[in-house]
Amino acid sequence: MNTFGRAFRLTTFGESHGPGLGAIVDGCPAGLELAAADVQGELDRRRPGQSRLTSQRAEADRAEILSGVFEGKTTGMPIAMLVRNVDADSSAYGEIKDLARPGHADLGYFLKYGHRDYRGGGRSSGRETLGRVAGGAVAKKLLALKGISIYAHTTAIGDAIAGEASLDDVINNTYKNPVHCADLASVDALSEAIEAAKRHGDSVGGTVEILALGVPPGLGSPVFGKLDAGLAGALMGIGGVKSVEIGAGIDAARLQGSEMNDELYVDDGQVKAKTNHAGGILGGISTGMPVVCRIAVKPTPSISKKQRTVNMRTREDATIEIKGRHDPCIVPRIGPVAEAMMALVLADHMILSGLLGPDHI
Protein backbone atom coordinates (compact mmCIF):
# COMPACT_ATOMS: atom_id res chain seq x y z
CA MET A 1 0.00 0.00 0.00
CA ASN A 2 2.28 2.68 -1.30
CA THR A 3 -0.32 4.89 -2.91
CA PHE A 4 -1.81 7.89 -1.11
CA GLY A 5 -4.86 9.94 -2.02
CA ARG A 6 -8.01 9.52 -4.04
CA ALA A 7 -8.05 12.22 -6.73
CA PHE A 8 -4.50 13.58 -6.42
CA ARG A 9 -2.59 10.35 -5.87
CA LEU A 10 1.01 9.73 -4.90
CA THR A 11 2.73 6.38 -5.34
CA THR A 12 6.25 6.05 -3.94
CA PHE A 13 8.93 3.41 -4.19
CA GLY A 14 12.51 2.76 -3.26
CA GLU A 15 14.82 1.71 -0.49
CA SER A 16 17.62 3.43 1.35
CA HIS A 17 20.43 1.48 -0.30
CA GLY A 18 18.81 0.25 -3.54
CA PRO A 19 19.19 1.77 -7.01
CA GLY A 20 16.93 4.70 -6.27
CA LEU A 21 13.75 6.14 -4.85
CA GLY A 22 10.91 7.84 -6.60
CA ALA A 23 7.38 9.01 -6.81
CA ILE A 24 4.54 9.03 -9.30
CA VAL A 25 1.94 11.76 -8.99
CA ASP A 26 -1.29 10.80 -10.72
CA GLY A 27 -4.24 13.13 -11.01
CA CYS A 28 -2.41 16.43 -11.27
CA PRO A 29 -4.37 18.65 -13.66
CA ALA A 30 -2.77 19.62 -16.97
CA GLY A 31 -1.28 23.06 -17.49
CA LEU A 32 0.66 23.46 -14.25
CA GLU A 33 4.16 24.84 -14.76
CA LEU A 34 6.57 22.30 -13.31
CA ALA A 35 10.31 21.78 -13.56
CA ALA A 36 12.79 19.48 -11.90
CA ALA A 37 14.01 22.53 -10.01
CA ASP A 38 10.67 22.82 -8.22
CA VAL A 39 11.05 19.32 -6.90
CA GLN A 40 14.74 19.80 -6.18
CA GLY A 41 14.01 22.81 -4.01
CA GLU A 42 11.80 20.79 -1.72
CA LEU A 43 14.21 17.85 -1.61
CA ASP A 44 17.00 20.19 -0.58
CA ARG A 45 14.96 21.43 2.37
CA ARG A 46 14.76 17.92 3.84
CA ARG A 47 18.39 17.10 3.01
CA PRO A 48 20.66 16.10 5.87
CA GLY A 49 24.25 17.25 6.12
CA GLN A 50 23.28 20.89 6.12
CA SER A 51 24.80 21.45 9.51
CA ARG A 52 26.65 19.62 12.24
CA LEU A 53 23.29 19.06 13.94
CA THR A 54 22.14 16.51 11.41
CA SER A 55 23.47 13.37 9.74
CA GLN A 56 26.73 13.81 7.86
CA ARG A 57 25.63 11.64 4.98
CA ALA A 58 26.04 13.76 1.86
CA GLU A 59 22.96 12.88 -0.07
CA ALA A 60 23.02 14.34 -3.53
CA ASP A 61 19.38 13.52 -4.19
CA ARG A 62 19.03 14.87 -7.71
CA ALA A 63 15.47 14.70 -8.94
CA GLU A 64 14.69 13.75 -12.53
CA ILE A 65 11.21 14.05 -14.06
CA LEU A 66 10.51 11.07 -16.30
CA SER A 67 7.00 11.75 -17.56
CA GLY A 68 3.90 13.88 -17.35
CA VAL A 69 5.57 17.20 -18.19
CA PHE A 70 5.80 18.56 -21.74
CA GLU A 71 7.24 21.92 -22.71
CA GLY A 72 7.42 22.92 -19.05
CA LYS A 73 3.83 22.15 -18.14
CA THR A 74 2.01 19.15 -16.78
CA THR A 75 -0.15 17.21 -19.22
CA GLY A 76 -2.54 15.50 -16.82
CA MET A 77 -0.59 12.28 -17.26
CA PRO A 78 1.28 10.64 -14.34
CA ILE A 79 4.36 12.58 -13.28
CA ALA A 80 7.17 10.15 -12.47
CA MET A 81 10.15 11.44 -10.50
CA LEU A 82 13.35 9.53 -9.80
CA VAL A 83 16.20 10.08 -7.34
CA ARG A 84 19.15 7.74 -7.74
CA ASN A 85 20.93 6.62 -4.58
CA VAL A 86 24.57 7.61 -4.78
CA ASP A 87 26.03 7.62 -1.26
CA ALA A 88 24.97 4.27 0.02
CA ASP A 89 27.54 2.66 2.26
CA SER A 90 25.83 -0.43 3.59
CA SER A 91 28.85 -2.09 5.18
CA ALA A 92 27.68 -1.23 8.69
CA TYR A 93 24.45 -3.15 8.36
CA GLY A 94 25.55 -6.68 7.54
CA GLU A 95 26.69 -7.47 11.05
CA ILE A 96 23.45 -6.45 12.71
CA LYS A 97 21.04 -7.71 10.09
CA ASP A 98 19.51 -10.31 12.41
CA LEU A 99 19.30 -7.99 15.41
CA ALA A 100 16.12 -5.99 15.92
CA ARG A 101 17.14 -2.41 16.57
CA PRO A 102 14.97 -1.20 19.49
CA GLY A 103 12.44 1.40 18.38
CA HIS A 104 12.93 0.41 14.73
CA ALA A 105 10.62 -1.39 12.33
CA ASP A 106 13.03 -4.31 11.93
CA LEU A 107 11.01 -6.90 13.81
CA GLY A 108 7.75 -6.07 12.06
CA TYR A 109 9.30 -6.32 8.60
CA PHE A 110 11.09 -9.53 9.55
CA LEU A 111 7.91 -11.19 10.80
CA LYS A 112 5.64 -9.82 8.11
CA TYR A 113 7.71 -10.20 4.97
CA GLY A 114 10.33 -12.82 5.81
CA HIS A 115 12.76 -11.51 3.20
CA ARG A 116 13.83 -7.87 3.62
CA ASP A 117 16.42 -5.38 2.51
CA TYR A 118 18.04 -4.70 5.87
CA ARG A 119 20.56 -2.19 4.53
CA GLY A 120 19.89 1.13 6.18
CA GLY A 121 16.41 0.02 7.09
CA GLY A 122 15.52 -0.52 3.44
CA ARG A 123 12.09 0.91 2.84
CA SER A 124 11.59 1.73 6.53
CA SER A 125 14.44 4.23 6.30
CA GLY A 126 13.75 7.91 6.61
CA ARG A 127 14.91 8.17 3.02
CA GLU A 128 11.48 6.83 2.07
CA THR A 129 10.21 10.35 2.73
CA LEU A 130 12.03 11.58 -0.39
CA GLY A 131 9.12 10.29 -2.42
CA ARG A 132 6.64 12.09 -0.18
CA VAL A 133 8.52 15.36 -0.50
CA ALA A 134 8.79 15.02 -4.28
CA GLY A 135 5.06 14.42 -4.53
CA GLY A 136 4.38 17.21 -2.08
CA ALA A 137 6.38 19.60 -4.25
CA VAL A 138 3.89 19.10 -7.06
CA ALA A 139 0.96 19.49 -4.67
CA LYS A 140 2.41 22.71 -3.29
CA LYS A 141 2.77 24.25 -6.74
CA LEU A 142 -0.81 23.33 -7.50
CA LEU A 143 -2.11 24.74 -4.22
CA ALA A 144 -0.16 27.95 -4.73
CA LEU A 145 -2.32 28.62 -7.79
CA LYS A 146 -5.27 28.88 -5.42
CA GLY A 147 -3.45 30.98 -2.84
CA ILE A 148 -2.82 28.14 -0.40
CA SER A 149 0.55 28.02 1.36
CA ILE A 150 1.87 25.61 3.97
CA TYR A 151 4.45 26.16 6.71
CA ALA A 152 5.96 23.78 9.25
CA HIS A 153 8.21 24.96 12.07
CA THR A 154 9.83 23.34 15.06
CA THR A 155 8.13 24.21 18.35
CA ALA A 156 10.15 22.09 20.79
CA ILE A 157 13.19 19.81 21.00
CA GLY A 158 13.10 17.60 24.06
CA ASP A 159 12.49 19.84 27.06
CA ALA A 160 13.39 23.00 25.15
CA ILE A 161 10.15 24.72 24.20
CA ALA A 162 10.26 27.45 21.57
CA GLY A 163 8.72 30.81 22.36
CA GLU A 164 5.61 32.08 20.65
CA ALA A 165 6.07 32.98 17.02
CA SER A 166 3.97 35.23 14.86
CA LEU A 167 2.89 34.18 11.40
CA ASP A 168 5.54 36.51 9.98
CA ASP A 169 8.16 34.80 12.13
CA VAL A 170 7.07 31.44 10.81
CA ILE A 171 7.26 32.57 7.20
CA ASN A 172 10.51 34.50 7.49
CA ASN A 173 12.62 32.86 10.19
CA THR A 174 12.07 29.12 10.00
CA TYR A 175 14.66 28.33 7.38
CA LYS A 176 17.21 30.81 8.68
CA ASN A 177 18.41 28.39 11.37
CA PRO A 178 19.32 24.71 11.43
CA VAL A 179 16.60 23.68 13.89
CA HIS A 180 13.92 25.35 11.75
CA CYS A 181 12.49 27.29 14.65
CA ALA A 182 10.39 30.39 13.93
CA ASP A 183 11.33 32.08 17.22
CA LEU A 184 14.95 33.04 16.70
CA ALA A 185 15.42 33.65 20.43
CA SER A 186 14.82 29.95 21.06
CA VAL A 187 17.22 28.60 18.46
CA ASP A 188 20.17 28.22 20.82
CA ALA A 189 18.18 26.30 23.41
CA LEU A 190 16.73 23.94 20.82
CA SER A 191 20.13 23.42 19.21
CA GLU A 192 21.70 22.68 22.57
CA ALA A 193 19.05 20.01 23.24
CA ILE A 194 20.23 18.24 20.11
CA GLU A 195 23.91 18.73 20.90
CA ALA A 196 23.44 17.35 24.40
CA ALA A 197 21.76 14.23 23.10
CA LYS A 198 24.54 13.79 20.57
CA ARG A 199 27.22 14.13 23.26
CA HIS A 200 25.60 11.35 25.23
CA GLY A 201 25.30 9.00 22.28
CA ASP A 202 21.61 9.51 22.59
CA SER A 203 18.83 11.16 20.60
CA VAL A 204 15.90 13.45 21.30
CA GLY A 205 12.36 14.14 20.07
CA GLY A 206 10.34 17.29 19.59
CA THR A 207 7.23 18.91 18.24
CA VAL A 208 6.36 20.58 14.97
CA GLU A 209 3.44 22.81 14.05
CA ILE A 210 2.08 22.77 10.51
CA LEU A 211 -0.09 25.60 9.19
CA ALA A 212 -2.04 25.94 5.98
CA LEU A 213 -3.09 29.45 4.99
CA GLY A 214 -5.66 30.33 2.37
CA VAL A 215 -7.59 27.07 2.64
CA PRO A 216 -11.11 27.72 1.33
CA PRO A 217 -14.18 26.49 3.20
CA GLY A 218 -15.71 23.23 2.08
CA LEU A 219 -12.81 20.77 2.01
CA GLY A 220 -13.60 17.39 3.55
CA SER A 221 -16.49 14.98 3.19
CA PRO A 222 -18.40 13.48 6.10
CA VAL A 223 -18.37 11.00 7.58
CA PHE A 224 -15.35 8.96 6.43
CA GLY A 225 -13.65 11.53 4.22
CA LYS A 226 -13.24 14.26 6.81
CA LEU A 227 -10.38 16.66 6.36
CA ASP A 228 -9.11 16.29 9.93
CA ALA A 229 -9.21 12.52 9.69
CA GLY A 230 -7.24 12.70 6.46
CA LEU A 231 -4.64 14.99 7.98
CA ALA A 232 -4.32 12.84 11.08
CA GLY A 233 -3.73 9.72 9.02
CA ALA A 234 -1.29 11.51 6.74
CA LEU A 235 0.79 12.96 9.55
CA MET A 236 0.71 9.92 11.83
CA GLY A 237 1.97 7.89 8.90
CA ILE A 238 5.27 9.76 8.87
CA GLY A 239 7.90 7.64 10.61
CA GLY A 240 8.50 8.78 14.19
CA VAL A 241 5.24 10.69 14.70
CA LYS A 242 3.38 9.58 17.83
CA SER A 243 0.69 12.24 18.19
CA VAL A 244 -1.38 14.48 15.96
CA GLU A 245 -3.41 17.45 17.16
CA ILE A 246 -5.82 19.72 15.30
CA GLY A 247 -6.38 23.26 16.59
CA ALA A 248 -6.66 23.27 20.39
CA GLY A 249 -5.70 19.61 20.22
CA ILE A 250 -5.07 17.91 23.52
CA ASP A 251 -5.98 21.08 25.39
CA ALA A 252 -9.55 20.76 24.14
CA ALA A 253 -10.05 18.02 26.71
CA ARG A 254 -9.89 20.37 29.66
CA LEU A 255 -11.87 23.26 28.21
CA GLN A 256 -15.49 24.25 28.72
CA GLY A 257 -17.69 24.59 25.66
CA SER A 258 -17.91 28.34 26.17
CA GLU A 259 -14.12 28.48 25.97
CA MET A 260 -13.64 26.06 23.09
CA ASN A 261 -16.35 27.29 20.73
CA ASP A 262 -15.00 29.86 18.28
CA GLU A 263 -17.51 32.68 18.05
CA LEU A 264 -18.35 33.75 14.53
CA TYR A 265 -18.78 37.16 12.95
CA VAL A 266 -19.22 38.65 9.52
CA ASP A 267 -16.32 40.60 8.04
CA ASP A 268 -16.92 42.15 4.66
CA GLY A 269 -19.43 39.46 3.76
CA GLN A 270 -17.20 36.61 4.85
CA VAL A 271 -17.84 34.52 7.95
CA LYS A 272 -14.84 34.51 10.26
CA ALA A 273 -14.03 33.20 13.72
CA LYS A 274 -12.57 35.30 16.53
CA THR A 275 -10.44 32.43 17.75
CA ASN A 276 -9.33 29.23 16.02
CA HIS A 277 -9.56 26.45 18.57
CA ALA A 278 -11.15 24.37 15.84
CA GLY A 279 -7.94 24.57 13.82
CA GLY A 280 -9.86 25.54 10.73
CA ILE A 281 -12.02 22.40 10.62
CA LEU A 282 -15.53 21.75 11.97
CA GLY A 283 -17.47 18.55 11.36
CA GLY A 284 -14.61 17.42 9.17
CA ILE A 285 -15.04 20.34 6.76
CA SER A 286 -12.68 23.30 6.43
CA THR A 287 -14.14 26.61 7.58
CA GLY A 288 -11.88 29.06 5.78
CA MET A 289 -9.76 29.72 8.87
CA PRO A 290 -6.12 28.57 8.88
CA VAL A 291 -5.71 24.83 9.25
CA VAL A 292 -3.47 24.14 12.24
CA CYS A 293 -1.90 20.79 13.14
CA ARG A 294 0.79 19.77 15.61
CA ILE A 295 2.79 16.57 15.71
CA ALA A 296 4.97 15.00 18.38
CA VAL A 297 8.06 13.29 17.01
CA LYS A 298 9.85 10.60 18.94
CA PRO A 299 13.62 10.59 19.38
CA THR A 300 15.55 8.84 16.59
CA PRO A 301 15.70 5.16 17.57
CA SER A 302 19.25 4.70 16.25
CA ILE A 303 21.52 5.57 19.17
CA SER A 304 25.08 4.52 19.83
CA LYS A 305 24.38 3.51 23.42
CA LYS A 306 24.37 -0.21 24.05
CA GLN A 307 20.81 -1.60 24.17
CA ARG A 308 19.29 -4.95 24.98
CA THR A 309 17.43 -6.61 22.14
CA VAL A 310 16.87 -9.94 20.40
CA ASN A 311 18.28 -11.87 17.50
CA MET A 312 15.23 -12.26 15.28
CA ARG A 313 16.50 -15.36 13.55
CA THR A 314 17.74 -17.38 16.49
CA ARG A 315 15.19 -16.00 18.94
CA GLU A 316 17.84 -15.29 21.55
CA ASP A 317 18.48 -12.30 23.75
CA ALA A 318 21.25 -10.04 22.48
CA THR A 319 22.79 -6.60 22.84
CA ILE A 320 23.27 -4.08 20.09
CA GLU A 321 25.48 -1.02 19.52
CA ILE A 322 24.40 0.84 16.41
CA LYS A 323 27.23 2.40 14.42
CA GLY A 324 27.12 4.67 11.42
CA ARG A 325 26.03 8.27 10.97
CA HIS A 326 22.64 8.95 12.44
CA ASP A 327 20.72 12.10 13.12
CA PRO A 328 20.41 12.59 16.87
CA CYS A 329 17.16 14.40 16.10
CA ILE A 330 14.97 14.25 12.99
CA VAL A 331 12.64 17.03 14.12
CA PRO A 332 14.22 19.80 11.99
CA ARG A 333 14.07 17.57 8.92
CA ILE A 334 10.51 16.34 9.41
CA GLY A 335 9.00 19.75 8.70
CA PRO A 336 9.29 19.49 4.91
CA VAL A 337 7.84 15.99 5.07
CA ALA A 338 4.90 17.17 7.17
CA GLU A 339 4.34 20.05 4.75
CA ALA A 340 4.36 17.58 1.89
CA MET A 341 1.78 15.35 3.54
CA MET A 342 -0.48 18.28 4.32
CA ALA A 343 -0.10 19.53 0.75
CA LEU A 344 -1.05 16.11 -0.62
CA VAL A 345 -4.16 15.97 1.56
CA LEU A 346 -5.22 19.48 0.62
CA ALA A 347 -4.59 19.03 -3.11
CA ASP A 348 -6.61 15.83 -2.99
CA HIS A 349 -9.52 17.53 -1.26
CA MET A 350 -9.37 20.58 -3.52
CA ILE A 351 -10.02 18.30 -6.48
CA LEU A 352 -12.51 16.11 -4.64
CA SER A 353 -14.47 19.19 -3.66
CA GLY A 354 -14.49 20.57 -7.19
CA LEU A 355 -12.43 23.63 -6.21
CA LEU A 356 -9.68 22.55 -8.60
CA GLY A 357 -10.48 21.05 -11.98
CA PRO A 358 -9.53 17.37 -12.20
CA ASP A 359 -8.32 17.60 -15.80
CA HIS A 360 -6.74 21.00 -16.29
CA ILE A 361 -6.09 24.16 -14.32
Q: Which of residues 24-83 bind its own copies (CB under 8 A)?
A: 24, 26-27, 30-31, 64-68, 70-71, 73-80, 82
Exposed / middle / buried, residue 264 (Cβ in 10 Å: 0-12, 13-18, 19+)? exposed
Output the CA–CA distances (angstroms, integers) from residue 289 to 179, 223, 231, 276, in the order listed. 27, 21, 16, 7
Q: Which of 41, 57, 260, 276 binds its own copies (CB under 8 A)?
A: 260
Binding mask 163-202 for its own copies (x = CB under 8 A): ----------------------------------x--x-x
Closest to its own copies by CB, 168 vs 266, is 266
Residue at 162: amino acid letter: A
Q: Which of 278, 334, 337, 340 binds its own copies (CB under 8 A)?
A: 278
Minimum distance, C-beta of residue 342 to its own copies, in the bound complex (Å): 14
Which helix (DSSP H) or strand (DSSP E) does residue 191 occupy? helix 187-199
Binding mask 322-341 for its own copies (x = CB under 8 A): --------------------
CA distance linking residue 73 with residue 65, whole number of Å: 12
Size of the chain, expressed as the number of residues it contains: 361
Q: Which of 51, 56, 222, 323 binds its own copies (CB under 8 A)?
A: 222
User: Prior bond to 223 cis, omega within 30?
Assistant: yes
* Interaction of residue 224 with its own copies, rule CB under 8 A: yes
Name which of 23, 20, 19, 21 is nearest 11 in CA terms: 23
Closest to its own copies by CB, 184 vs 252, is 252
Minimum distance, C-beta of residue 119 to its own copies, in the bound complex (Å): 8
Which helix (DSSP H) or strand (DSSP E) does residue 106 occupy? helix 106-113
Contacts to its own copies from residues 240-259, by CB under 8 A: 242-259
* Interaction of residue 100 with its own copies, rule CB under 8 A: yes
Name which of 141, 106, 343, 345 is nearest 239 in CA terms: 106
Closest to its own copies by CB, 171 vs 196, is 196
